[in-house]
Chain A
Amino acid sequence: MSALLVIDRLSVRYGSRDVLRALSLEVARGEIVALMGPSGVGKSTALRVVAALQPFEDGRIVVDGFALAPGPVPPESRLVPLRRRVGLVFQAHALFSHLTALDNVTLALRHVLGQSPIEADAVAEQLLASLDVGSRAGAWPSQLSGGEAQRVAIARALEPNPPLRGLLIATHDTEFARENADRVVSLTV
């Protein structure tokens, strides 16, 4: 079976500083991988590059058949296949501050996948409940605790159902990562 994600000799520089030098990694479908290391080694950078949020200088990335080349990040219109394949949970959650927890989760369901509001609400409510934050569906992001916000952010990243998901949870807390990765797996199996 071919790898879901291939990172081949990836190099990323911020100015003159090498953040990643020749990082290579392969992840098979259904596999759970944790990138661990102290602050500043480039864990988040690697995830951001895979999600095409920032350019890289050298190497090659293939996500489920979609290849990213070194150089500037391509325009959003050319990244549609990648967006369907990668879900990302940000370190600071980055929940949309003007939407409730439920609306954060349904946004992509409705506007990317074209689901009806009723359909999307039902899916999102079920997912939030399975992550133990079902009662917080109507809360604003500023009303959520750090843990709650992270669960909502996970729900949002899982919703469009990308094949590459649990992988891209970046956190300093490896215990938490493992715990959540398990949850994600148990949800999606």
Chain B
Amino acid sequence: MIAALALCVVAVQQHADSAVLVWGGDAEGGAPFVEADPANPSRVRGFDVEVAERIARGLGRRTTRFVQVQWSNIDQSVERSDFTLGLSGVEDTPVRRARHAVTIPYFEFREVLAVRRGDTGRIRGLADLRGRRVATLGATIAYDLLLAARESTGLIPLSYDDDVHPYADLVAGRVDAVLLDHIIAQRALRRAGGAAFVIQAQPVAVGHYVGVLARTDSVLRDSVDAVLREAMRDGSLEQIFRRWEVWDPSQMTLFERVTRTNAAARAAGAATANSALAYLPSLARAAVVTLLLSFSSMALAVIVGLGVASARVYGSAWLRAATTVYVEVIRGTPLLLQLFVIYYGLAGVVRLPAFLAAVLALGLNYAAYEAEIYRGALEAVPRPQLEAARTLGLSELQILRLVRGPQALRFALAPMTNDFVALLKDSSLVSVITVVELTKQTAIYATNVGSWVVPGALCAGVYLAMSLPLARLARRLERRWSPAA
């Protein structure tokens, strides 16, 4: 019965799909690609929206339906059939061509460097950035360019999850340059008031936006290509780009080249995806970052947690109230929010390096949980034990150090191990403030090879290799400390 109903739903859906072009993109990427319409936030607008509509018309579809997807997941989603066509500043790369059905390029963009006004004369290309920090979006051609340049020029690539904060950090002095598509750079410059930084005229590289379809959809892809060529010839694509103020003469050159040659760029598909082996060193480096981050954060959490717990157990009424507020505020708000506040929110007061900000946010967050564990453990020590210690003439500090602390530690050990394993995994959140740790590196790897299977398994393996020995160590300590029954 249920199966029949599900079949009906699927059938209806498929019938509806034949009249509707379902396409996916990331509205978080914003204008002029795709953004929520300020007049009606339930709709999207942007040049990619209009390109999708033009394609739908050319294919004889009645209408379009937009599916929101994170930019870095467009390829995976299109293969999962979440939508038919992915569009949203999707870049033309050999790996993408090898793994999916990719349309002809419909827009040519330039990778441009943005620098602070004072550096205009000093930093003109990647070669001028030795030892300097350069920001970009993760899993893009620009990021690959920076990674390649790291070897040759010694610059320091920083990957961001969005295209707003790289420019904010450029202005704030956290990075020395931003390498991104000229459309994104120009938009950021307009947003920042036009004088906050300078976009170098000489492009570092040139790339193209394409549409991406599932590998098995190559027939539909050929139809989409035909519609795009038609739109280039009849001027409708030019009109769209002009309306969104992204038209320039290089688009005309692209159009002429693309309409002349059929499937010109397809030969590029020969490039094979890198084998898992090639990614192992970078995964190992990222695992070290995760470990360093987790151990430093846990050390901070334990120290602050002990202080807060002692204040809650022994402190004056005022101190108890203050530490209670700390614990409740930290526990009651998302760690992600705390990361943003410490890294970006405090940037006006103190400009913390990303790693330090990550350790602070994770450490202070976990300190609240640790404090509660220690407080509970301290209060779980039976009162007669403390009274016996008192009658022996031990001072309060000695009692804490020699009797209450050691006994509480045993109660705290299991929940502490639990917390540390949780911290190990929560450390993946810090990729939002440009720290490339294990999960982020895996996501970059997965985007590059266009699949999550091998990267996901490798990443899970590394996390387990880090957390299992911890659990073992904790069990051993517990056994050693617990007096034999």
Binding site for B on A (CB under 8 A): 48, 51, 53, 76-77, 80, 83-84, 86-88, 90, 92, 94-98, 107-108, 111-112, 140-143, 156-157, 160
Q: Is the CB of B387 within 8 A of A94?
A: yes
**Could you pull out 20 A-B pairs where Cβ atoms are within 8 angstroms?**
A53-B391, A76-B390, A76-B396, A77-B395, A83-B391, A88-B391, A94-B384, A94-B387, A96-B388, A96-B403, A97-B385, A98-B407, A98-B483, A107-B402, A108-B394, A112-B392, A140-B484, A141-B483, A143-B483, A160-B392
Question: Which residue of the partner chain, among A77, A87, A90, A157, contacts B384 with CB atoms under 8 Å?
Answer: A90
Given contacts A53-B387, A92-B384, A96-B403, contact A156 B483 (CB under 8 A): no
Whether B392 lies near A108 (C-beta < 8 A) is yes
**Which residue in chain B gives the minimum CB-CB distance to A140?**
B483
CB nearest neighbor in B for A83:
B393
Binding site secondary structure of chain B: helix
- Asked if A97 and B407 sit within 8 Å, CB to CB, the answer is yes
Cα distance A185–B277 in the bound complex, in angstroms: 79
Chain A nearest CB, measured from B383 CB (Å): 9
Please judge, given known A-B contacts A90-B387, A94-B387, whether A111 and B483 are in contact too, CB under 8 Å: no
Pairwise interchain contact A142-B484, C-beta atoms closer than 8 A: yes
- A-B contacts besides A83-B393, A94-B385, A142-B485, 4 pairs, CB < 8 Å: A76-B396, A87-B391, A94-B388, A107-B403
Binding site for A on B (CB under 8 A): 382, 384-385, 387-396, 398, 402-403, 406-407, 410, 481, 483-485
Q: What is the chain A residue whose CB lies nearest that of B406?
A: A98
Chain A residues whose CB sits within 8 angstroms of the CB of B406 once the complex forms: 98
List chain A residues, Cβ under 8 A from B382: 94
A112's nearest neighbour on chain B, judged by CB, is B393
Q: Is the CB of B392 within 8 A of A90?
A: no
Chain B positions within 8 Å of A97 at CB level = 385, 407, 483
Return chain A residues, CB-CB under 8 Å to B407.
96-98
List of A residues within 8 angstroms of B391 by Cβ: 51, 53, 83, 86-88, 157
Question: For B387, B391, B485, which residue has the most chain A Cβ atoms within 10 angstroms?
Answer: B391
Note all chain A residues with C-beta closer than 8 A to B390. 53, 76, 83
Give chain A residues whose Cβ lies under 8 Å from the Cβ of B395.
76-77
Output the nearest chain A residue to B410 by Cβ-Cβ distance: A98
The CA-CA distance from A143 to B484 in the complex, in Å, is: 7
How far, in Å, is A44 (CB) from chain B's closest CB?
11
A156 touches B485 (CB 8 A): no
Nearest Cβ distance between residue B479 and chain A, in whole angstroms?
13
The distance in angstroms between the C-alpha atoms of A84 and B390, with both chains bound, is 11
Cα separation A111 to B398 with both chains bound (whole Å): 8
Which of chain A's residues have a CB closer than 8 A to the CB of B403?
96, 98, 107
Q: Point out the residues of chain A lying under 8 angstroms from B410, CB to CB.
A: 98
Q: Quick one: given A90-B384, A94-B385, A98-B406, are A83 and B485 in contact (CB under 8 Å)?
A: no
Q: Which residue of A lies closest to B481 (CB)?
A: A98
Separation of A88 and B389 alpha carbons in the complex (Å): 10
Query: Which 7 pairs between the two chains have the least Cβ-Cβ distance?
Result: A140-B483, A83-B393, A94-B384, A108-B392, A94-B388, A112-B393, A88-B391
A148→B410 CA distance, assembly (Å): 25
Query: Which residue in chain A gives the minimum CB-CB distance to B403?
Result: A96
